[in-house]
A and B are shown apart, each in its own frame.
Chain A
Amino acid sequence: MKTFKLDNDPKIGTGFKVPDAYFDDFQSKIDQRLQENEKPTISLFAKRKTWFFAAAALFIMALSIPLLNLMFTSSTEIDKDTLEMYLSNQTNLSNDDIVELLNEEDIQKIKIDLKIEDQELEDILTTNCNMEEYIVD
Chain B
Amino acid sequence: MEEQEFIALLLDPKTQNTAFQKLLSDYQRPLYSHIRNIVLNHDDTDDVLQNTFVKVFQHLKNFKGESKLFSWMYRIATNEAITFINKKAKRNGTTSEAMQTRIVENLRADTYFDGNEIQIKLQKAIHLLPQKQQLVFKMRYYEEIKYEDMSEILGTSVGALKASYHHAVKKIENYMTSN
Knowing A3-B173, A3-B177 touch, does A30 contact B115 (C-beta < 8 A)?
no
Residues of A2-24 whose CB lies within 8 A of B? 2-6, 12-19, 22-23
Give how many A residues have a beta carbon under 8 Å from the other chain's beta carbons. 23
Knowing A26-B28, A30-B50, A37-B58 touch, does A6 contact B177 (C-beta < 8 A)?
no
Give how many B residues have a beta carbon under 8 Å from the other chain's beta carbons. 37
Knowing A4-B177, A16-B113, A17-B112 touch, does A30 contact B169 (C-beta < 8 A)?
no
Does the CB pair B54–A30 fall under 8 Å?
yes
With beta carbons under 8 angstroms apart, the residue of A3, A5, A15 that contacts B119 is A15
Does the CB pair A6–B107 fall under 8 Å?
no
CA gap between A27 and B178 in the complex, in Å: 45
Question: Is A110 part of the contact surface with B, judged by Cβ < 8 Å?
Answer: no
State how many angstroms separate the Cβ of B171 from the closest Cβ of chain A: 11
CA gap between A17 and B119 in the complex, in Å: 13
Closest chain B residue, CB of each to CB of A33:
B54
Question: Is B153 part of the contact surface with A, judged by Cβ < 8 Å?
Answer: no
User: DSSP class of A's interface residues: helix, strand, loop or mixed?
Assistant: loop
Interface string of A25-41 (1 = CB under 8 A from B): 01101100110010000
CA gap between A12 and B124 in the complex, in Å: 13
Interface string of B1-40 (1 = CB under 8 A from A): 0000000000000000000010011001100110011001
Does the CB pair B119–A12 fall under 8 Å?
yes
Closest chain A residue, CB of each to CB of B107:
A15
CA gap between A123 and B116 in the complex, in Å: 137
With beta carbons under 8 angstroms apart, the residue of B25, B37, B53, B178 that contacts A14 is B37
Does the CB pair A4–B176 fall under 8 Å?
yes
CA gap between A34 and B54 in the complex, in Å: 6
Does the CB pair B119–A13 fall under 8 Å?
yes
State how many angstroms separate the Cβ of B42 from the closest Cβ of chain A: 7
Interface, chain A (partner B; CB < 8 A): 1-6, 12-19, 22-23, 26-27, 29-30, 33-34, 37
New A-B contacts (8) at CB < 8 Å, excluding given A12-B119, A15-B120, A37-B54: A6-B141, A14-B119, A15-B116, A23-B28, A27-B24, A27-B25, A29-B50, A33-B50
